[in-house]
Structure formats: structure tokens, C-alpha cells
């Protein structure tokens, strides 16, 4: 079990990390392939030294502290999912530090002395472009050894890019691709399919009359959903993995200005599951949402979508 410790600057003097550890710094939204390379490199170091591996991450997203971004903000991976993914990579402890004005204005030397040192780092690891402390000072990886003053070693991990590209894999680009419904790019960058959590709630009970009953999913605000459209999904519900086709949209065939809902027609499944927690794995985009001229035209399209969904699982 990975241990999660929430921290606020200035750190409580009672925080005592007795044992030295390998410490990785970063926000790690999405725990994408670039992040995974950084963590794996740190894990090698931790194993070589026989020390635990710890991550120092932040909340909220640094962009929200340095500039005005539209709210609500959606991380690719909310903190609990980030911790679960880091855990799978061998991370024993996660420190989640509030990113505040006071922290972001710290001189780099003070950041090292007052934030890193209480965490007993033997080695500090981060990616080549990681910044800490005041942005306008020399708070980069090249200068970290100076501030360390022989108290810890520094490992800087080189850029990870997608095959044939120069641009680094970045969570900002993954968030943008998800907002465009580009699940292929999302998967290539994360090294896995994007997933969201939710709970089954009531819809308008129209789906059943169309011959395509749907579970309506309430998705908590901190989760990141793909763009409006129709998708092949795999749903974990009642401990089973079930094939499905999902619609994120306003059900425009049935009126204007309806709210965006997430509905999933589960294939080969028929149980009452209101209130059940679900995990949705977003596998492939099938199409955009269409305002059909009649319910019959929508039904014909839904039949084609179901065939496309079955084809996806057959080739997989």
C-alpha cells in the first residue's frame, strides 16, 4: 500500500522522515509514458541503493496557481488514481504538497532546505525540464546539485517523446486530445486507455423504448471525459468487465439545450444497477453526435454502432 501524506508549506516541524529515500518531483497528471520513464529511472536508483521510492507532487495543478484557467479544472488522473498508478510503478510514499503563492515564490535554496531536506532525500530525481521554487530564479535541474550542497545526489531524466517525434509527451497535449475525442493519441501517450469513475443514476427511461437501454453515469467533476460523441467502452460493474457503447452528448434528436449526459448501452447485460460504482475504459471513438430526423433513424444508427462495437472486441 502506498502511503499518502498531505503537506502544506511551511512544513510542520513534526514531519520526521527517519529513513533516507529516493525522491521524485513532479505533478504527474496522467502518469503518462514520459512520467513513467522518470519514475522507472528513480526506481532503479532506489533498488540499487536499497531505499524506498517517494514522490513529491502538488495540488492544485500548477497552472491554476500561476495563471487564471477556466474552471472547473479536470485532471486526467485525480489524486487517488495518480497514487494508484504510482503504486504500480513501485512508489512507496506520495507527499502531496499544497502549491501556494508562498511555496511558488520560495528561493530555490530555501525550497531545497525547507521542503526537500525534511523528506530525507538520498537522491532527487526529476525530468530535464522540471522547475521548483520561484520561476524567475535558477530553479532548474542544472542548478539543483549546487543547492544540494553534497546532501543528496541529483538524477535528471531525459525527454521521452512519441516514436518519430521530437516534442515531449505532455499531459497538456493529452488533455487537449481527450477534449477532441482523439483516443488514439491519448492511448499512445498514456501507454494505456484513459479511464473514468462514476455512479449509475436514473435517465429519462427512453433508451429501453428504443430497444437500447442505457445506464446513465454521473461522473464526478474532477474526472476528465472525452469530447461529445459515441465511443466503444469497457465497463467494470459488479466486479465484471462488460462491453459497451457510450454516448456523451445532449441527446439532440430529442430536443435542444439539453444537458450533457453520459449513457452506456451495455452489450449482453441486463440487471438493475442504480447506485453501482462503475469504471469506464474509453477504447475507441466511433462518431460524433447526430440530430436524427426520427427515433427510427437513430435506432438504425445504433444498430450499426453495436455492430462496430462487436467488431472492435472481435479483432482485439
Ligand X SMILES: Cc1cc2nc3c(=O)[nH]c(=O)nc-3n(C[C@H](O)[C@H](O)[C@H](O)COP(=O)(O)O)c2cc1C
- 171 lines the binding site for ligand ATP (CB under 6 A): yes
Does 29 contact ligand ATP by CB under 6 A? Answer: yes
Chain centroid to Cα 55, Å, comes to 16
* Nearest distance, CB of residue 30 and ligand ATP, angstroms: 7
Cα(85)–Cα(225) distance, integer angstroms: 19
Nearest to 306 by CA among 275, 256, 269: 269
Q: Which of residues 31-50 bind ligand ATP (CB under 6 A)?
A: 34-35, 37-38
245 binds, among ligand X, ligand ATP, none (CB under 5 to 8 A by kind): ligand X
Q: Does residue 247 belong to the site contacting ligand X (CB under 6 A)?
A: yes
Distance of alpha carbon 195 from alpha carbon 19, whole angstroms: 35
User: CB–CB of 31/77 below 8 Å?
Assistant: yes
Could you tell me the smallest distance in angstroms from the CB atom of residue 136 to ligand ATP? 18
Q: What single string gives the DSSP state of each residue in 295-314?
A: HHHHHHHHHHHHHHHHHHHH
Q: Kindly list the distances between the CA atom of residue 127 and the CA atoms of 19, 116, 124, in Å, as whole numbers in the listed order.
A: 24, 16, 10
**Near ligand ATP by CB under 6 A, which window of 48-56, 108-116, 167-175, 244-252?**
167-175
Exposure of 43 in the CB half-sphere (CA atoms within 13 A) = 14
Cβ count near 106 (within 10 Å): 20
Shortest Å distance, C-beta 293 to ligand ATP:
44
End-to-end CA distance of the chain: 32
Count residues binding ligand ATP (CB under 6 A).
Answer: 21
Closer CB to ligand ATP, 171 or 234, in the complex: 171
Range 97-136, binding ligand X (CB under 6 A): none
234 lies in the site for ligand X, by CB under 6 A: no
Q: Is 207 in the site for ligand X (CB under 6 A)?
A: yes
- Residue 219 binding ligand X, by CB under 6 A: no
Query: Cell match 479536470: residue?
Result: 74
Nearer to ligand ATP, 103 or 126 (CB): 126
Q: 278 is written with which cell numbers?
A: 462503475
Length of the chain, please?
316
Q: Which of 57, 196, 219, 265 binds ligand X (CB under 6 A)?
A: 265
Is 75 near ligand ATP (CB under 6 A)? no
Q: Which residues bind ligand X (CB under 6 A)?
A: 203-207, 210, 212, 214, 216, 230, 245, 247, 249, 251-254, 263, 265, 289-290, 298, 302, 305
Amino acid at each position: 500500500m502506498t502511503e499518502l501524506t498531505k503537506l502544506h508549506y511551511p512544513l510542520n516541524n513534526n514531519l520526521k522522515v527517519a529513513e533516507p529515500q529516493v525522491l521524485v518531483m513532479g505533478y504527474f497528471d496522467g502518469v503518462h509514458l514520459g512520467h513513467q520513464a522518470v519514475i522507472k529511472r528513480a526506481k532503479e536508483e532506489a533498488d540499487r541503493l536499497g531505499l524506498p521510492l517517494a514522490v513529491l507532487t502538488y495540488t492544485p495543478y500548477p497552472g491554476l496557481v500561476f495563471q487564471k484557467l477556466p474552471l472547473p479544472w479536470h485532471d486526467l488522473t485525480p489524486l487517488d488514481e495518480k497514487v494508484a498508478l504510482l503504486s504500480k510503478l513501485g512508489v512507496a510514499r506520495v507527499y502531496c504538497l499544497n502549491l501556494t503563492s508562498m511555496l511558488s515564490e520560495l528561493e530555490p535554496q530555501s525550497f531545497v532546505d525547507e521542503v526537500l531536506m525534511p523528506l530525507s532525500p538520498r537522491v532527487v530525481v526529476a525530468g530535464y525540464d522540471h522547475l521548483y521554487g520561484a520561476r524567475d530564479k535558477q530553479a532548474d535541474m542544472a542548478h539543483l546539485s549546487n543547492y544540494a550542497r553534497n546532501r543528496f545526489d541529483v538524477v535528471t531524466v531525459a525527454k521521452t517523446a512519441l516514436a518519430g517525434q521530437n516534442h515531449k509527451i505532455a499531459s497538456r497535449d493529452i488533455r487537449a486530445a481527450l477534449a477532441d475525442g482523439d483516443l488514439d493519441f491519448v492511448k499512445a501517450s498514456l501507454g494505456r486507455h484513459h479511464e473514468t469513475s462514476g455512479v449509475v443514476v436514473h435517465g429519462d427511461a427512453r433508451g429501453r423504448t428504443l430497444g437500447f437501454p442505457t445506464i446513465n453515469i454521473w461522473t464526478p467533476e474532477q474526472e476528465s471525459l472525452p469530447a461529445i460523441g459515441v465511443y466503444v467502452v469497457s465497463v467494470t460493474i459488479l466486479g465484471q468487465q462488460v462491453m459497451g457503447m457510450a454516448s456523451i452528448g445532449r441527446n439532440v434528436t430529442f430536443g435542444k439545450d439539453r444537458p450533457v449526459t453520459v449513457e452506456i448501452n451495455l452489450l449482453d447485460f441486463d440487471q438493475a444497477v442504480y447506485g453501482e460504482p462503475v469504471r469506464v475504459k474509453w477504447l475507441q471513438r466511433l462518431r460524433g453526435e447526430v440530430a436524427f430526423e426520427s427515433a427510427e433513424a437513430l435506432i438504425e444508427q445504433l444498430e450499426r454502432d453495436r455492430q462496430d462495437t462487436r467488431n472492435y472486441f472481435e479483432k482485439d
